[in-house]
Amino acid sequence: MASRSPSPARFARYDDGVLVYAGIDEAGYGPMLGPLCVGCCVFAVESWHEGESAPDLWQLLGSHVARRRKGAGTRIPVADSKKLKLPNTSKAKHPLTYLERGVFCFLPEAPADDVALFEQVGANLTGPAWYGGAHVSLPVGNDPAMLRISINQIHQAMKHAGLSVRSYTCQTLDARRFNEHLARTGSKAATSFGLFTRAIEGIWRHFPDEHPRIVVDRQGGRIQYAGSLARAFPSAAIATEFETPELSRYHLEREGSRITITFATASEDRHMPVALASMLAKYVRELAMARFNRYFQAMMPDLKPTAGYVQDARRWLRDASAVVRDLDRSQLVRRR
């Protein structure tokens, strides 16, 4: 399964007064099973001028979106995916209800099934057999008619606010490619960072004259990124604006083209593009894990499904030993 940058067809170029405002986040950094997913959401914000602070997109969309699930009512919650994904044991609602609703409202078009979604967002899950099988109709956790109403409301609200989503994409690494990247980079952090910089390169390449502002959710306690950015973008001049425990910001320039990258803690709570990136990455991973579990349960119906996180993954590997013992573990299990 190859990861890939956002398609050029998803991008456009803009006149002065339009902000290109992007967010990048991941899902599946810690698990032993299933893909690592990195989401990227790019907005164009009209009537914005150089020097102004990043706009609050929650505020611009007014009564149509909410910063949190609790108390959202009929509004669409847009937040850190961990706060929107319900437990798999949830009875009142499907575990993906809130994630799915938010993702669908910001996609260019509603996909009919999971494969159509993967294709639309660039999530390449065509490698291992356990990500194959029959297409699954979408949505899985929402009433289609009600979801169409929400989608129309959000699209109208964005039009009124001078907002548009110019790209909504997700890169994926299955276990085999994750392990290959890990062998080359020497660390999980470097492997994940490589996907982040791939997304950044895609934005920069397709908005060369618009000075994109890109916010990346910070991983762990790392503060300094200039060296890693220099290795990822060797032809760029890099200036560090500041590096603090909360924010690290860098200006990159090459051939007269500029971008600004901010690494921020809790960025899903402060930047809606990052929250939406987090939501898409999590939604894609959950649909991928549903395929994973269906594949192996077809061979062992009593096998309890797994979300792929370390402790439960070890339980699952023990339980599934009869059907996985002849598989190449490097294609199934991610190295730690």
Residue 10 has a pLDDT of 38
Report the interhelical angle of 272-299 vs 114-121 (nearest 10°).
Answer: 140
- Examine residue 85 and state whether it is found in any structural domain, yes or no: yes
Total domains present in the chain: 1
Residue 4 has a pLDDT of 35
- The Cα-based distances of 43 to 9, 12, 36, 85 in angstroms read 15, 11, 24, 24
Residue 16 has a pLDDT of 57
Instruction: Specify the amino acid at residue 316.
Output: W
Residue carrying structure tokens 């699952």: 316
Residue of 216, 174, 182 whose CA lies nearest to 198: 216
| Polymer length in residues for the chain | 336
- Examine residue 2 and state whether it is found in any structural domain, yes or no: no
CATH number, residue 198: 3.30.420.10
- Examine residue 3 and state whether it is found in any structural domain, yes or no: no
- Examine residue 124 and state whether it is found in any structural domain, yes or no: yes
- Examine residue 306 and state whether it is found in any structural domain, yes or no: yes
Residue 8 has a pLDDT of 33
Residue 235 is part of which domain span?
A: 8-332
- Examine residue 98 and state whether it is found in any structural domain, yes or no: yes
C-beta atoms surrounding 31 within 10 Å: 20
Instruction: Specify the amino acid at residue 203.
Output: I
Residue 218 has a pLDDT of 86
pLDDT per 10-residue tile (average), the chain, 336 residues:
36 64 96 97 89 88 93 93 94 95 97 97 92 96 96 96 97 96 91 95 95 90 94 97 95 97 95 98 98 97 97 98 94 92
- Examine residue 178 and state whether it is found in any structural domain, yes or no: yes
The model's pLDDT over 13-61, given as tens digits with 9 standing for 90+, comes to 444 588 999 999 999 999 999 999 999 999 999 988 777 778 999 999 9
